[in-house]
A and B are shown apart, each in its own frame.
Chain A
Amino acid sequence: MSNLNHLETKDINVWFGERHVLRDVSLQFQNNHVTALIGPSGCGKSTFIRTLNRMHELIPSAGLSGQVLLNGEDIYAQAVDPVNVRINIGMVFQKPNPFPTMTIRENILSGLKLSGRKIEDGDGLVETSLQRASMWNEVKDRLSEPALSLSGGQQQRLCIARSLAMDPNVLLMDEPCSALDPGSTRRIEETILELKENMTIVIVTHNMQQAQRVADSTAFFLSENGNPGEVVEFDTTENVFMRPKDDRTNEYVNGRFG
């Protein structure tokens, strides 16, 4: 397995219509590290994560400048097909979104079918994907049941497994646990820690404890007084939470605003 999963952004600026919402975001997501994006609501971290696999451009008024480099190659270069970008950079959304018309098994294999790739060992892929999302034992006897028969936490892990079946270099997670109970949250966090052996993970979270539990590095986003959002501080998680350099970071991570 190629262990090169390096993602980097250079001077990302984002607009919606004429409104400038993100300014000069340059971050390095290190190979097989987990990076947490934290910050109060409306600071642009969800917008930012959507620029990393070109989901951002699906919003009608979206605008962008800057570069996103996956292993040194700009995913916004003219010759690059966004479809291929999204195959290599998977995404898990805030709300579990299994495909309701498909079974559990079909959901896992849906990524391959949707991206037009051949399914060689379907059963094996279903098993390994579900195992990596640590839910194989729960669902191995009900693979042909509808995906919506699962509980909310299981649905979200199914969505993670669905992304894993594509064997992405990078996995983006946009508040994956915000709709889940503490038990499901813990299992997803365990999954994240196992997954980072093989891929780079970027996770948006509102939960400070979660960032400290799973992330190697943390970026603090802030948008003040209607200005576009910016990265105030980007460092190892330990430094951001224990020895923040910026006062605003200090106040935020200690729960004094946001």
Chain B
Amino acid sequence: MTDTLAQPRPKNAAPWEKLGSRVRFASWITSLVPAAIFVAAWLGLQLDFMAALLTIFLPIQLAFGAWAGFYSYGRKGVNDGLLMVVTFFFSTFVLVLLASVIWSVISEGAAALSPHFIYQNNRYITGTTGLEIGGAGHAILGSVIITGITTVITVPLAIATAVYLTETRDGARGVVRTLLQALAGLPSVVAGLFIYSMLIVSGWSSQVGVMASLSLIPLMLPTISRVAEESLRLVPSELRNGALALGAPSYKAFFMVTLPAAKSGIVTAVLLGVARIIGETAPLILTAVIANETNANPLAGGMATLPTYIYNFLYLGDATSLQRAWGAALVLLIFVGILFVGARVASATRVGSKPKRRKK
């Protein structure tokens, strides 16, 4: 290595980041002036915030964006400026909405959250009982059990469907794909009603946890298969051919080469599937009822879940009930968050030892 010829990187080794003074001037004006006018108009004229945002800020910001594009780059800059304003405005808008949803769940739910909220159940609790006792422990347990059973049953089915769609040349693939799409549009209450009428009203079974799990399968299956299908389709055919050319039987080529290459996509598929069903309420009310007792047996007795717990307390409507509902919503949110982070960490593709990072 000829280290002597290497030079330290100068501070300004990014010529593309040097903006011309005109561009810098225009960006400053465009980011500050519309915001200032908007704040003045909003506070000065006592306007409604949303109305002012859409009728005053957005048009002015668009006009300034167009002007900045024209001032910096001439006519061809106008569309750039407009597009930039539109993308920034609406992505910020959506981000703020999302953040406000999360924030309201956290701020409202935090009051109800306490250690006993996580493990106590809902026995002897009425709508007006104080928050010192009672919790969503039974609902957390129920959610874990019902979602878990559904996941265990559905994941192999869904991945097998995706494999059938991508790895075989069978003639019925088109029909299966169409049915899968139709299934994706199935309203959840219909899935619940199906299990309710076929297996519960008929007397074959009763309202128990495993019935709820069954009713969630048709909701989870299309989500997982469609995303898994996409990720399997993205595996280059050169890899499959490479494996087959080394004398691999098809199943080994699939398990050793194709599946590992699609791993992170398939984990995402499973996550989306879990996220799809974990908040489902309607089919659970029909199939597992709204239980107050802790019940770890999915084969006997009603079972509570977080969504039905929330539903129940929203229905009661008292101040403490609403706080309990918010608390359960926060638990659900944390639950999903942990799941997503965990799966991301688990599926991070790491091959062999840590690769040496090349300096940029």
| Chain A residues within 8 Å of B, Cβ to Cβ | 53, 55, 58, 60, 83-87, 90-91, 93, 95, 97-106, 110-111, 113-116, 144-149, 159, 162-163, 166
Contacts and interface: CB of A to CB of B under 8 A. Distances in A.
B246 interface: yes
A144 B355 CA distance: 9
Given A102-B260, A110-B257, 6 more contacts: A83-B247, A95-B238, A110-B246, A114-B248, A116-B252, A147-B351
Contact of B244 (A58, A101, A105, A113): A58
B352 A114 contact: no
Contacts of A60: 169
A87 B243 contact: no
B261 A100 contact: yes
B233 interface: no
A93 B244 CA distance: 12
B276 interface: no
A149 to B, nearest CB: 5
Interface residues of B, number: 26
Contact of A91 (B245, B353, B355): B245
A53 B246 contact: no
Contacts of A113: 252, 256
Q: Output the residue of B239, B242, B245 with the most chain A CB within 10 A.
A: B245
B246 A97 contact: no
Interface of B: 169, 236, 238-239, 241-249, 252-253, 256-257, 260-261, 263, 349, 351-353, 355-356
Contacts of A104: 352
Contacts of A115: 246-248, 252
Contacts of A85: 247
Contacts of B238: 93, 95, 97
A203 to B, nearest CB: 15
A111 B245 CA distance: 9
Contact of B246 (A84, A149, A163): A163
B164 to A, nearest CB: 16
Nearest to A148: B351
A144 B249 contact: no
Given A58-B241, A93-B238, A97-B242, A86 B247 contact: yes
A85 B355 CA distance: 36
A118 to B, nearest CB: 14
Contacts of B260: 99, 101-102
A178 to B, nearest CB: 14
Contact of A100 (B239, B243, B246): B239
Shortest Cβ-Cβ A-B pairs, 9 listed: A103-B352, A114-B248, A87-B247, A146-B351, A115-B247, A101-B260, A111-B246, A97-B238, A91-B245
A86 B261 contact: no
Contacts of B244: 55, 58, 86
A24 to B, nearest CB: 26
Nearest to A60: B169
A116 B242 CA distance: 16
B254 to A, nearest CB: 11
A83 to B, nearest CB: 5
A114 B255 CA distance: 9
A149 B351 CA distance: 10
A168 B263 CA distance: 31
Contacts of B245: 53, 55, 86, 90-91, 93, 163
A149 B260 CA distance: 18
A196 B245 CA distance: 20
Contacts of A111: 246-247
Given A90-B245, A93-B241, A115-B248, A101 B169 contact: no
